[in-house]
């Protein structure tokens, strides 16, 4: 059931002070997760929502969910950002076990989701842009 869990010991990584980061598996894990995060920005995009007739901005992030004291599960989060009637930024967030699940949802289902308090007019006038 928890095959994709990482033990708490593995997650509590620190930068090795001895200069042997290239041989420290814990530090290598941290580096690979960091590069995953940077690579996710290339997948962020504006998506046309046919129901609301405006573009919403979707961006991905990684994180972890603590399942119990000994298990942390890596997750991918898809944020869908838009404006409300006061032009304030609002978002809904979806959580996935894999990047492929998140991307499939982004490409196939985001444009069908209900977005609470969305103002299509404000979202169109003041789009959320990739930074």
Q: Is residue 110 domain-resident?
A: yes
Q: Is residue 40 domain-resident?
A: yes
Q: Is residue 130 domain-resident?
A: no
- Overall pTM > 0.75: no
70: closest CA among 3, 4, 6?
Answer: 6
Q: Look at the chain and report how many structural domains it folds into.
A: 1
Q: How far is CA 34 from the centre of its chain?
A: 13
Is 93 within 8 Å of 105 (Cβ atoms)? no
- Is residue 115 packed enough to be buried (19+ CB in 10 Å), middle (13-18) or exposed (0-12)? buried
Domain residues for the domain of 44 are: 5-125
Q: Is residue 131 domain-resident?
A: no
For the segment 41-88, what is each residue's pLDDT rounded down to a tens digit?
889 999 999 999 999 999 999 998 888 877 888 999 999 999 999 999
For the segment 91-121, what is each residue's pLDDT rounded down to a tens digit?
999 999 999 999 999 999 999 999 999 999 9
Q: What is the pLDDT of residue 21?
A: 41
| Rounded distance between C-alpha atoms, residue 75 and residue 70, angstroms | 16
């Amino acid at each position: 059931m928890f095959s994709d869990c990482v033990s708490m010991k593995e997650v509590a990584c620190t930068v090795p002070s001895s200069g042997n980061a290239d041989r420290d598996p814990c530090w290598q894990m941290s580096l690979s997760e960091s590069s995953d995060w940077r690579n996710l920005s290339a997948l962020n995009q504006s998506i046309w929502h046919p129901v609301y007739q405006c573009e919403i901005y979707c961006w991905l992030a990684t994180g972890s969910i603590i399942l119990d004291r000994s298990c942390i599960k890596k997750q991918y989060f898809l944020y869908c950002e838009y404006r409300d009637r006061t032009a304030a930024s609002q978002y809904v967030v979806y959580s996935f076990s894999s990047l492929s699940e998140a991307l499939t949802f982004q490409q196939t289902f985001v444009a069908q989701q209900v977005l609470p308090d969305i103002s299509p007019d404000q979202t169109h006038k003041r789009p959320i842009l990739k930074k």
